[in-house]
């Protein structure tokens, strides 16, 4: 299982990578593996604001559908239409195929998220 050390994680299998004031968000390698071959990605609207841990997107495979939750409170600034157009790209590299970018309301909220080692423990227990 691939868990990059430079990202922050949620217990719900989302990751965020902050670049300046923007966070790239996607689902983890563990999540895409559990779902199987993705065939649909529903992205949020640009400009929409979401509270932390609220449903923000959906990914579907032939096996199941899964909600994607906002890792922190913030506003969506961009979506990755390429991931929606080619959902299999998330299976190929869950960390390159980010789903959306958001501006966190409070960057300090990232400090409350899981690091790679803590997420590894959560994924191993699942």
Rounded to whole angstroms, the Cα distance separating 62 from 47 reads 30
Could you read off the pLDDT of 17-47 as tens digits, one per residue? 998 889 999 999 999 999 999 999 999 999 9
Rounded to whole angstroms, the Cα distance separating 17 from 101 reads 9
Could you read off the pLDDT of 66-92 as tens digits, one per residue? 999 999 999 999 999 999 999 999 999
Computed over every residue of the chain, the mean pLDDT equals 95
> How far from 8 is each of 23, 24, 40, 110, 120, CA to CA, in Å?
10, 11, 25, 7, 12
Query: What pLDDT shows up at residue 53?
Result: 95
26 contacts 99 by C-beta, under 8 angstroms = yes
pTM score, whole prediction: 0.95
Query: What pLDDT shows up at residue 20?
Result: 87
């Amino acid at each position: 299982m691939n868990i990059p050390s430079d990202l922050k994680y949620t217990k719900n299998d989302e990751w965020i990578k902050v670049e300046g004031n923007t966070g790239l968000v996607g689902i983890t390698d563990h999540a895409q593996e559990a779902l199987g071959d993705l065939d649909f990605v529903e992205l949020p609207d640009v400009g929409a604001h979401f509270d932390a841990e609220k449903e923000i997107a959906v990914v579907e495979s032939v096996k199941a559908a899964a909600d994607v939750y906002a890792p922190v409170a913030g506003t969506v600034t961009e979506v990755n239409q390429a991931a929606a157009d080619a959902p299999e790209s998330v299976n190929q590299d869950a960390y390159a195929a980010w789903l959306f970018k958001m501006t966190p309301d409070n960057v300090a909220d990232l400090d409350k998220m899981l690091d790679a080692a803590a997420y590894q423990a959560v994924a191993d227990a699942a």
